[in-house]
Chains A and B, each alone.
Chain A
Amino acid sequence: MYSVKEIKKGLEEKKFSTVEIVKEYLEKIKKEDKKIKAFITLREDEAIKEAIEVDKKIASGQELRLLEGLPVGLKDNIATKGLKTTCSSKILEDFIPPYDASATIKVREKGGIVIGKLNMDEFAMGSSTENSAFFDTKNPWDLSRVPGGSSGGSAAAVSAGFAPITYGSDTGGSVRIPASFCGVVGLKPTYGLVSRYGLIALASSLDQIGPFGKSVEDCIYGLEGVQGFDKKDSTSKDVKLPDYFEEIKKGIKGLKVGVPEEFFGQGIDKEIKKKIEDNIKILEKLGAHIERFSLPITDTGLSAYYIISSAEASSNLGRYDGVRYGIRAEDYSSFEELIVKSRTEGFGEEVKRRIMLGTYALSSGYYDAYYKKAMIFRKKVEKLFDDAFDKYDVVVSPTLPILPFKLGEKINNPMEMYLSDTFTVNINLAGVPAISVPAGFSKEGLPIGMQFIGDKFSEDILFRFAYALEQELKLDLDPWKEGR
């Protein structure tokens, strides 16, 4: 509906009040979300109360903070004190966190107004949001198709105009994939740039919270809302934060782009390949130097990712035992039964599958064959990216090898679902940042995303490329438009 800048300007110039803006977004959600089903929980009353406070601030001439008055949506694995946080899982269906995630605190400290919690694949395991224990979220561009996952609700909400900024989490592509499928901008920051405190853990060495926006500028606001050192997260990094808005003005002339052959090989949808190659030509036209090179990590990277993330998940999800929080089985005759029944009843199929896979990979006898090999390969991926960024400022690829698929199409074939992540997982293994930007549409009008990958803490360069492409393409990203 509105860009972040439009809202900020409108509030400052008193074109509309915060209450009016928040109510407008809430009304839109109540009217249209029946079709999309992005939201699990709406936070209406508190949001309006907070909006009233912002209007008082504006009336008294006080300076407005970065996200003052902006409606913001959070993926339902980001803890919100006093507001149900379920991870789209039955096992946490009534869980109310007694604390806020650091990302929640930062958004609120900058004036953002949390309007609701968004649907996801259960415990962030999935690439289509179909693993949610509650309901499917639909792709706003085609309601018979998936929005991607696991942050499907967050991406769909921004695409459908339900909030100018939402946050998701990305462990193996869970921000970038739905961003690509829903035609919005989604960033996975460098590991350590955004605090994981209060992000309900899937794989602690891979998870990062990432912002969604309809434009690169909105995404920048999103990142600035949550980035930065947090002493409550021991993996949080204290780095100098650039002025991204100044950086994007620099353009991309003279910057070097690496195009990895293996990311353009067999198995990619022809329309996607053509669209990305056309966009690479645009980058060249804008002054960037293009060079093809070899980065042979796609197939093995996928295996390493699923071994490592499942192993970490099996450990992280061990805490759900019905004792301190989460559902408890109705009848049990022993402590063992309490735990086993609560977990068996509370977890969905995919979650159980990955816990089993992870437990297997870590079990004695198989640790060397799977987990150890995957961890060594992970070092190789880190080194190969390191070498690539010695030569290039950015590496590009399609975000996915496939177009948004139909609901139900891949849900019965786990391995086929995992293959959607081929181009995204290695980025998480290496801890580097990557952004997915709308790159165009297929003949049928389905969104195609382009991925820019950068060296650690080079979000400024990613934004430069993303912004340059966006300004050149000037795509119409409104899925509700007449004739669609």
Chain B
Amino acid sequence: MKVSREEVEYIAKLANLKFSSNEMDKLLKEFESILEHFENLDQEDLKGYDMYSFEEKSLRTREDKVVDFENKSELFSNVKKMRDKFIEIPKVVD
């Protein structure tokens, strides 16, 4: 299945990724070959199967009890830029 360059550029935007022109050319070719293989899904007889049927009728729940989390400061140990207790990033809203 042929994918247009505009479509792939739009997908890149959704995925928060940036590609050079050469990388984009390569990606388009690869997409084509991969999506062509995916066409075998269209040959399948999928009548009678329900995507939303599950074995378990509901997930396990736990008691609605407050448990204190002790490790708060450790959670920030991998942040590149902190300011006081806050994570520093560029301005989000003008």
Contacts and interface: CB of A to CB of B under 8 A. Distances in A.
Contacts of A328: 80-81
Interface in B46-94: 46, 49-51, 53, 59-60, 62, 71, 74-81, 87, 89-92
B interface, how many residues as a size bin? 35 or more
A299 interface: yes
A284 B71 CA distance: 56
B86 to A, nearest CB: 12
A347 interface: yes
Nearest to B50: A379
B59 A95 contact: no
A350 B46 CA distance: 30
A352 interface: yes
A322 B90 CA distance: 12
A325 interface: yes
Interface in A177-209: none
A355 B19 CA distance: 13
B11 A335 contact: no
Contacts of A327: 80
Interface in B12-32: 12, 14-19, 27, 30-31
Given A96-B77, A234-B59, A353-B27, A344 B40 contact: no
A323 B79 CA distance: 7
A304 B49 CA distance: 15
Interface stretch (A30-38, A52-60, A168-176, A367-375): A367-375
B53 A300 contact: no
A356 interface: yes
B17 A98 contact: no
Nearest to B45: A380
A interface, how many residues as a size bin? 35 or more
A339 interface: yes
B6 to A, nearest CB: 13
Contacts of A314: 15
Contacts of A379: 49-51, 53
A405 interface: no
Contact of A335 (B18, B37, B91): B91
A356 B80 contact: no
Interface in A87-140: 94-96, 98-99
Nearest to A324: B79
Contacts of B44: 300, 373, 377, 380
A340 B75 contact: no
A300 B40 contact: yes
A287 interface: no
A356 B41 contact: no
Contacts of A321: 16
Contacts of A414: 30, 33-34
Contacts of A352: 17, 19
A370 B43 CA distance: 13
A95 B78 contact: yes
A401 B32 CA distance: 24
A299 B40 CA distance: 7
Interface stretch (A250-258, A357-365, A460-468): A357-365
A62 B38 CA distance: 58
B38 A325 contact: no
A335 B49 contact: no
A373 B8 contact: no
Most chain A CB atoms below 10 A, which of B7, B17, B59: B17
B15 A356 contact: yes
Given A377-B44, A414-B33, 16 more contacts: A323-B89, A327-B80, A341-B18, A353-B27, A356-B31, A357-B31, A357-B34, A359-B11, A360-B8, A373-B41, A373-B42, A374-B41, A376-B50, A377-B49, A379-B51, A415-B34
Interface of A: 94-96, 98-99, 231, 234, 299-300, 302-304, 306-307, 314, 318, 321-328, 332-335, 337-341, 343-344, 347, 352-353, 355-357, 359-360, 363, 370, 372-377, 379-380, 383, 414-415, 418
